[in-house]
A and B are shown apart, each in its own frame.
Chain A
Amino acid sequence: MYVRELSVTDFRSWAQADLTFSPGVSVLVGANGQGKTNLVEAVGYLATLGSHRVSSDAPLVRRGAAAAQVRATVVNDGRELTVQVEIQPGKANRARVNRSPVTRARDILGIVRTVVFAPEDLALVRGDPGERRGFLDELLVARAPRWAGVRADYEKVLRQRSALLKTARHARGDTSTLEVWDAHLARAGAALTAGRIQLAAALAPHVTAAYAAVAPESVPVGARYRSKVAAVDELAGTADGQDDVTGGAAHAELAAAVEVALLEEIGRRRDQEIERGVCLVGPHRDELDLSLGEGPAKGFASHGESWALALALRLGGFELLREEGSEPILVLDDVFAELDARRRDALARTAARAEQVLVTAAVDDDVPSVLNGTRYVIEAGTVRDGVAS
């Protein structure tokens, strides 16, 4: 798929910007602070209804404006769709598809699909496990939008059960309502865990291959889903990437097995949970383990290795989505400056295969010559485009 038209109003630094893209490579060039990243961020927002840079929507609206608008026309297998989102902080987003409003903004997920690689992604390797769980969940939603619902359900049950645990210490003895929430947590948690396990299994070989491509001189890397619950972890170790994540029989079977294991563990740790007043069992405590050679990546990988590994995770996700059909738009936000010449070229060669790549760079020379394409010069809130190089 590719974006043909992008239009933003009152989004970040832009009062108004309209760009026309074609398939292949588009490079947005401009000095720091001119708003290059804001434009690709807008494309990413349509794909995930979230920004890759901030967790709240408030900074996305231009100062002084009440609402921001992002509109894009994407072409997927020759079929054109226009999606539009109005971002009003503190209110629900309003979305339109081909100018008709949809009931929930969530309904537009899946129309624009992107894989964004940005400087923030270093946190995928160096940050807390939450970053990596978020990465897996985002990829699940990109594969099949229904996972947004599965994740939201789990988070709701988790919040309710946590609230109950906080008061449970005072109401000692009576665990009858807690058992009800145990059952719901186990069921919702098992669905999410099983999805992540299958995704991680399918993703791992792509990550290994992508790392070998961008850092040919380095040691092999691995990625594996880790659960704090031993029985679930065992299931994660035996899952293979052949299963489909869209809810096939293998998924149902795995989810059922995980549910049993989670329920048992919740029963075992009941006293501890009541004592501490937090949920100690469930996918919100899981992790995607990244390994570099024999050891773990976190804490051992060098800066360059961490970068290459974060890149491999994104490219692995990209290859996985591509293998399964509709090809996502690849966004490389300000990443070339961080890589040495060899890795730049390796990344550029991989990226050049994508149907559409949107690249931002402060200096034109940072972008390898393999990525020849249309240059857009971003300067003082204006876009000069069509400068082919």
Chain B
Amino acid sequence: MFEGPVQDLIDELGRLPGIGPKSAQRLAFHLLGAEEADITRLQDALAKVKAGVVFCEVCGNVSEKQRCRICADARRDATLVCVVEEPKDVMAVERTREFRGRYHVLGGALDPMGGIGPDQLRVRELLRRIGGQQTEGGEQEPEIAEVILAMDPNTEGEATATYLVRLLRDFPGLAVTKLASGLPMGGDLEFADELTLGRALAGRRGAL
């Protein structure tokens, strides 16, 4: 145990995910020796993260303004919406630079054990978006033509996708698609686990 503020800092850092007591100690002593300016910047960033970040009124992604950068960007295809679980999934899809549509962040996946049902997710907002209702800003958005479901390929993600498919099939003319499931690029077939390989086989495509 260290004395006073240093131990307080170690305890606080240790509560962060992925940081054990040893890492917390190393971080704390690094901060102790850091430049004053660096500390101030970190302080500012910490203070702003709670106060300065809002959730986009359209897609639910973390944003600086009422409407996030992607939803405000007129060059992006508003008829194409990719539904993801978390804001970090938006970043993952964005990194591909392949997707020119917009997003909808659910804020999690169906998880009855964790007490997460459809009401805890932004499902109603998604249906309202697809239904073409006016947003609070009063602007009429173009009608959505395709919804891409991009949930995590695990039990909870799959259940969420199934749930959304059941809701979305009631919209006439709406295309609902799901990310393909298969082998990672640059990988070796022999190292793929049976489940992934089995899925890839089941979802095979004509090569001609």
Chain A positions near chain B (C-beta within 8 angstroms):
145-146, 149, 153, 156-157, 159-161, 163-164, 167, 171, 176-177, 179-181, 183-184, 247
User: In the bound complex, how far is the Cα of B115 from the Cα of A149, in angstroms?
Assistant: 25
Q: How many A-B residue pairs have CB under 8 A?
A: 50
User: In the bound complex, how far is the Cα of B166 from the Cα of A153, in angstroms?
Assistant: 22
Which of B162, B167, B195 gathers the greatest number of chain A CB atoms within 10 Å? Answer: B162
Q: Are A177 and B118 touching (Cβ within 8 A)?
A: yes
B residues 146-169 with Cβ under 8 Å of A?
155-156, 158-159, 162-163, 166-167
Which of A160, A171, A183 is within 8 Å of B156, CB to CB?
Answer: A160
User: In the bound complex, how far is the Cα of B195 from the Cα of A145, in angstroms?
Assistant: 11
Which chain B residues lie closer than 8 Å to A167 at the CB level? 112, 115, 117
- A146-B194, A149-B195 known; A180-B159 Cβ under 8 A: yes
Q: Are A183 and B162 touching (Cβ within 8 A)?
A: yes
Q: Are A160 and B198 touching (Cβ within 8 A)?
A: no
Which of B118, B155, B162, B198 is within 8 Å of A156, CB to CB?
Answer: B155
Which of A160, A163, A171 gathers the greatest number of chain B CB atoms within 10 Å? Answer: A160
The secondary-structure label for the interface of chain B is helix
Q: How far is the CB of B163 from chain A (nearest CB, A)?
A: 4
Q: Are B112 and A181 touching (Cβ within 8 A)?
A: yes
19 contacts between A and B (CB under 8 A): A146-B195, A149-B193, A149-B194, A156-B155, A157-B159, A160-B110, A160-B111, A160-B113, A160-B156, A160-B159, A167-B117, A171-B117, A176-B167, A177-B117, A177-B118, A180-B162, A180-B163, A183-B162, A184-B159
Q: Are B112 and A161 touching (Cβ within 8 A)?
A: yes
User: In the bound complex, how far is the Cα of B111 from the Cα of A161, in angstroms?
Assistant: 9
Q: How far is the CB of B114 from chain A (nearest CB, A)?
A: 8
Q: Are B194 and A180 touching (Cβ within 8 A)?
A: no
Q: Select from chain B the residue with minimum beta-carbon distance to A150.
A: B195
Which chain B residues lie closer than 8 Å to A157 at the CB level? 155, 159
Q: How far is the CB of A342 from chain B (nearest CB, A)?
A: 44
Q: Select from chain A the residue with minimum beta-carbon distance to B194.
A: A146
Q: Select from chain B the residue with minimum beta-carbon distance to A155.
A: B155
Which chain A residues lie closer than 8 Å to B156 at the CB level? 160
Q: Are B118 and A176 touching (Cβ within 8 A)?
A: yes
Total residues of chain B contacting the partner, CB 8 A: 19
Which chain B residues lie closer than 8 Å to A164 at the CB level? 112, 117
User: In the bound complex, how far is the Cα of B156 from the Cα of A247, in angstroms?
Assistant: 24
- A180-B110, A247-B198 known; A160-B162 Cβ under 8 A: no
B121-160: CB near A (< 8 Å → 1, else 0) gives 0000000000000000000000000000000000110110
Q: Select from chain B the residue with minimum beta-carbon distance to A181.
A: B159
Which chain B residues lie closer than 8 Å to A247 at the CB level? 198
Q: Are A160 and B166 touching (Cβ within 8 A)?
A: no
Which chain A residues lie closer than 8 Å to B194 at the CB level? 145-146, 149
- A153-B155, A184-B155 known; A177-B163 Cβ under 8 A: yes
Which 8 A-B pairs give the minimum distances between C-beta atoms?
A164-B112, A163-B112, A146-B194, A163-B113, A180-B163, A156-B155, A180-B162, A160-B112
User: In the bound complex, how far is the Cα of B113 from the Cα of A164, in angstroms?
Assistant: 7
Q: How far is the CB of A387 from chain B (nearest CB, A)?
A: 45
B92-115: CB near A (< 8 Å → 1, else 0) gives 000000000000000000111101
Q: Are B166 and A159 touching (Cβ within 8 A)?
A: no
Which chain A residues lie closer than 8 Å to B110 at the CB level? 160, 177, 180
User: In the bound complex, how far is the Cα of B110 from the Cα of A171, in angstroms?
Assistant: 16
Q: Are A160 and B118 touching (Cβ within 8 A)?
A: no
B186-197: CB near A (< 8 Å → 1, else 0) gives 000000011100
Q: How far is the CB of A15 from chain B (nearest CB, A)?
A: 27
User: In the bound complex, how far is the Cα of B159 from the Cα of A183, in angstroms?
Assistant: 9
B residues 66-121 with Cβ under 8 Å of A?
110-113, 115, 117-118
Q: Select from chain A the residue with minimum beta-carbon distance to B163.
A: A180
Which chain A residues lie closer than 8 Å to B166 at the CB level? 176, 179-180
Q: Select from chain A the residue with minimum beta-carbon distance to B114.
A: A163
Which chain B residues lie closer than 8 Å to A163 at the CB level? 112-113
Q: Are A184 and B117 touching (Cβ within 8 A)?
A: no
Which chain A residues lie closer than 8 Å to B163 at the CB level? 176-177, 180
Q: Are B112 and A184 touching (Cβ within 8 A)?
A: no
Q: How far is the CB of A186 from chain B (nearest CB, A)?
A: 12
Q: How far is the CB of B124 from chain A (nearest CB, A)?
A: 13
Which chain B residues lie closer than 8 Å to A181 at the CB level? 112, 159
User: In the bound complex, how far is the Cα of B167 from the Cα of A74, in angstroms?
Assistant: 53
User: In the bound complex, how far is the Cα of B77 from the Cα of A384, in angstroms?
Assistant: 77
User: In the bound complex, how far is the Cα of B115 from the Cα of A247, in angstroms?
Assistant: 35
User: In the bound complex, how far is the Cα of B155 from the Cα of A179, in angstroms?
Assistant: 15
Q: Are B162 and A184 touching (Cβ within 8 A)?
A: yes
Which chain B residues lie closer than 8 Å to A184 at the CB level? 155, 158-159, 162
Which chain B residues lie closer than 8 Å to A146 at the CB level? 194-195
Which chain A residues lie closer than 8 Å to B159 at the CB level? 157, 160, 180-181, 184
Known: A149-B193, A160-B112. 5 other contacts (CB 8 A): A160-B113, A171-B117, A177-B117, A180-B163, A184-B158
Which chain A residues lie closer than 8 Å to B155 at the CB level? 153, 156-157, 160, 184
Q: How far is the CB of A251 from chain B (nearest CB, A)?
A: 12
User: In the bound complex, how far is the Cα of B112 from the Cα of A159, in angstroms?
Assistant: 9
User: In the bound complex, how far is the Cα of B118 from the Cα of A180, in angstroms?
Assistant: 11
